[in-house]
Amino acid sequence: MSFPRITVVVVTALMAVGAATAEGADLPGSSGSSGSAVPCTIALDAGHNGVVTNTYDPVTGVLMADYPNGKEDADALDIARAVRDRVEAAGFRVVLLKDTTEDNVTYRDRVDRAAAEDAVVGVSIHTTPGADGSAVYPQRVGGYRTGEGTDGQKTTVTSDDSVTAVESQRFSTVMAGARSVAELRGVPVGDLSFDGRPGLWGGNLPVISLIADTPWVYNEFGSATGGGAHGISAAEESRYVDGLSAGILAGLATSPQCSVAGSAGSVG
Ligand SMILES: [Zn+2]
């Protein structure tokens, strides 16, 4: 019954956020989008790797530690495929950065693919235990990871791309609003900490968000009964798909790079 009022609040917030960054000339997808019929592209990152991987990013030097995580792998891929279908139905182009749960793709592979596809945003999809675990994590200037580099020396990699961070934060705010409506609970734009986690560098940005030149939106869905390796229920999955899809479409509709949702025409 209270849905209409909530929706109005969210839409008003979206318009305010969208108006704050109405240019974005240096963002991905800027070139070739003026008057072009080519729809905007987004990259969907189903969380976790098919095998344990611990390599150093050749570009930044950060440790790229990733691993399979039980039922989360298939959940994230199912959700990514469902979101893809909805976003494509609205006329946008979607690239999945993982096609099967067995795929072995590093964070560098994923962000390079997103950039090569000229994605205007990358969206990471994860789940986690705990009903209070839902959150959206944006890129932030000054966000970092720190640990032992390939040369054995303490190394810190810090984010300094303000244009990308501003668009990531705008998109994350839109996403958090849409997800809050779909999940029937407040989904905050949050801050992560990786400090004290064995096998991972410390710091406060997901590695994929840190090394991406594309605006990135990192999502966790908190489950009361499962989450992460334990899996989420069909009802939870449905709410997550709804929220992500609505958030992506609202973010694209207010994107400085993209035409209004639906105007690109219907795409098979
Ligand atoms: Zn995860």
Which pLDDT tens digits describe the chain residue by residue (268 residues)?
333 344 333 444 444 444 444 344 467 665 444 444 578 999 999 999 999 999 999 999 999 999 999 999 999 999 999 999 999 999 999 999 999 999 999 999 999 999 999 999 999 999 999 999 999 999 999 999 999 999 999 999 999 999 999 999 999 999 999 999 999 999 999 999 999 999 999 999 999 999 999 999 999 999 999 999 999 999 999 999 999 999 999 999 999 888 554 454 444 4
DSSP code at position 189 = B
The residue ranges of every structural domain in the chain are: 3-28+39-253
CA of 219 to the centre of ligand 1 (A): 9
Helix axes 234-253, 162-183, angle to 10 degrees: 140
Ligand 1 centroid to Cα of residue 227, in Å, is 9
Structure tokens at 105: 């793709």
The amino acid at 33: S
- Chain centroid, CA 36 distance in Å: 25
How many angstroms does the Cα of residue 134 sit away from the middle of ligand 1? 12
Distance 48 CA to ligand 1 centre (A): 6
Structure tokens at 224: 């009361």
Rounded to the nearest whole angstrom, what is the distance from the C-alpha of residue 69 to the centroid of ligand 1?
Answer: 7
Amino acid 24: pLDDT: 46
Given 3.40.630.40, 3.40.50.880, 3.40.50.300, 3.40.50.150, which CATH number is that of 3-28+39-253? Answer: 3.40.630.40
**Do residues 74 and 68 touch, judged by C-beta distance below 8 A?**
no
pLDDT of residue 78: 98
Place of tokens 């905007």: 40
**Residue 256 has what pLDDT?**
81
The alpha carbon of 205 is separated from its chain's Cα centroid by a whole number of angstroms, namely: 12
Cβ distance 105 to 265 under 8 Å? no
